[in-house]
Structure 1
């Protein structure tokens, strides 16, 4: 496996984790309350032109991938060029391998003799048996451990590449013989509706989202909108969109100078007019007052510039 790369990054700030994966087109938002701590370990080839395979390790509560609940013993697949939507619950940990898409398709085609693209069409998850899950998990962990601790030693680099090839071979076998779960058109429509609602908030940030106004602009019913958010996020539209706007305030505060920025101005720009309620909601979600985000974010920007 050529151009194999490895890095490890830890942070209490999910925006810093997103920035560390600079070649991934990703956006992170915090949806549940409390201070955040995340740990990212990435192994594989860098995007674009890759296909990703994720194996969840642990999670508490409901996690969702592409509108569906995630369960133990599932392999999550993100196709090249497709949008991945993952909502991780508390203690969510996942191992991800990304490989060159064409190389993977060639490997599948050489094994099956068929149309590899047709085989992978609309596949988002594969259900694994307990034995296969444990074997795949062990191979992931062996690869990550060796890459993290020994990759700088040239004499073991070839062995690490062999471990990566072995993991890829196992995933190829799983894809060829796996229990596929295909994306359903109904869920796709609901996901598109949620995305349109997010776009509406982006377009009119000063307006607090109201069901009647939003539904009129989106050309849908309030019932359909509520069902779409529940199916895709596991949350009500009101709760999700409030967290969405709070995350935008947070991102903006982190790039502003405390000397020239008032928290209330940024909050008002995202539709929060009651400062007492805004401050309470913000602290409940992120574990700190917005003024601290403003100070800490500016210090971080100054340190890296």
Structure 2
């Protein structure tokens, strides 16, 4: 199912500029949404109920990639935005909030760090802006402008508080770049040197916002909680046709029921029981959409994911995705 509408911004001669490309896509499903971000390797799971609507705006720059992402549902994004990239991200709505690797990303904070092993959940409808830049380029610019190497803590993913004024300025800067990019014949689209300036200006705005040092002592406990969630998820996926009980999950990860609940709330913003069900419902949806077996019906796929009561399964599926599984299958 592809319902994305993509607009290419062209140079005056009608060609897409070699050094840059701007496009946008309106999406009606999380998998379609993920497919609209070709530079990133992320898997999406819809966490909150209702029909999904999203929008992806992206700008390709020399050695960099800018994204403005809007979603009307809570979604988990897991994967990487590039192992040789540094990422910078912030929520673009003052009331927005997300959880990144167990750290709260709010209206006055900024997410920075290496682009591998990203685990981001927006806790409600949100709009997030991000910039990913080649690592060597970030090091070169930092050394040339600030005459010092990058802070060692940037090798990790850290949420830092920058205050309302700085966060507001960054939001305005990023929105301004996307607004300018949406003008078909904007001068700054012409030439690699001009596009490099756009990239450098945005990168420097993010680097200027960062403190010289920050406390990262909390990252060790965050990593421990993430490992608990990761091991629990692995167990869930290893036997989706026979979903484990929470007691079995607790034994597998070596945690009490209370600790397991705390870890899931801290990393994903929901209970382990709810996430187990949402995880399996997302798995059913992906399989129905992919039509791996053209002869498999809804009941066959549901059974593969441990749903045996078809009436209850259909009700839960519709509650999460705002359509019946049979409708998903027909569109596929």
TM range (shorter): 0.7 to 0.9
Matched, 1:30 2:46: yes
Matched, 1:136 2:152: no
For 2:245, the equivalent position in structure 1 comes to 210
For 1:96, the equivalent position in structure 2 comes to 130
Cα distance change of structure 1 residues 182 and 135 upon mapping to structure 2, 3 Å threshold: farther
Distance in 2 between the 1:40 and 1:223 partners? 38
Contact 2:105 2:159 in 1 (8 A): no
Contact 2:113 2:155 in 1 (8 A): no
Task: Return 5+ residue gaps in structure 1 as ranges.
Answer: 299-305
Cα distance change of structure 1 residues 182 and 124 upon mapping to structure 2, 3 Å threshold: farther
1:163 to 198, 215, 223: 198
User: What's the CA shift string for 1:251-287, capped at 9, x where partnerless?
Assistant: 0000117961211111111111111111111000000
Alignment root-mean-square deviation, CA? 2.5
Distance in 2 between the 1:226 and 1:209 partners? 15
For 2:324, the equivalent position in structure 1 comes to 289
Give the C-alpha shift of residue 213 in structure 1. Answer: 1.7
Matching of residues 147-162 of structure 1 within 5 Å? 147-150=181-184, 156-157=190-191, 159-162=194-197
Deviates more, 1:26-35 or 1:260-269: 260-269
User: What's the CA shift string for 1:96-154, capped at 9, x where partnerless?
Assistant: 11111111022223444444251424341121222212221121112111223236867
1:271 to 302, 306, 320: 306
2:273 to 229, 234, 238: 238
What SS does the corresponding residue of 2:182 show, helix, strand or coil?
A: helix
Contact 2:96 2:107 in 1 (8 A): no
For 2:9, the equivalent position in structure 1 comes to none
1:226 to 261, 265, 276: 261
Cα distance change of structure 1 residues 51 and 5 upon mapping to structure 2, 3 Å threshold: farther
For 2:69, the equivalent position in structure 1 comes to none
Give the C-alpha shift of residue 177 in structure 1. Answer: 3.8
Give the C-alpha shift of residue 228 in structure 1. Answer: 1.0
1:190 to 225, 235, 256: 225
Distance in 2 between the 1:155 and 1:86 partners? 31
Matching of residues 103-142 of structure 1 within 5 Å? 103-116=137-150, 118-142=152-176
Task: Return 5+ residue gaps in structure 2 as ranges.
Answer: 1-17, 66-81
Give the C-alpha shift of residue 222 in structure 1. Answer: 2.4
What SS does the corresponding residue of 1:284 show, helix, strand or coil?
A: helix
Cα distance change of structure 1 residues 194 and 292 upon mapping to structure 2, 3 Å threshold: same
Query: Greater strand percent: which structure?
Result: 2
Distance in 1 between the 2:96 and 2:168 partners? 21
Deviates more, 1:141-150 or 1:265-274: 141-150
Cα distance change of structure 1 residues 59 and 211 upon mapping to structure 2, 3 Å threshold: farther
Distance in 2 between the 1:161 and 1:271 partners? 51
Give the C-alpha shift of residue 65 in structure 1. Answer: 1.6
TM-score, normalised on structure 1?
0.87
Cα distance change of structure 1 residues 259 and 136 upon mapping to structure 2, 3 Å threshold: closer
Query: Greater helix percent: which structure?
Result: 1
Contact 1:201 1:209 in 2 (8 A): yes
What SS does the corresponding residue of 2:319 show, helix, strand or coil?
A: helix
Cα distance change of structure 1 residues 173 and 61 upon mapping to structure 2, 3 Å threshold: closer
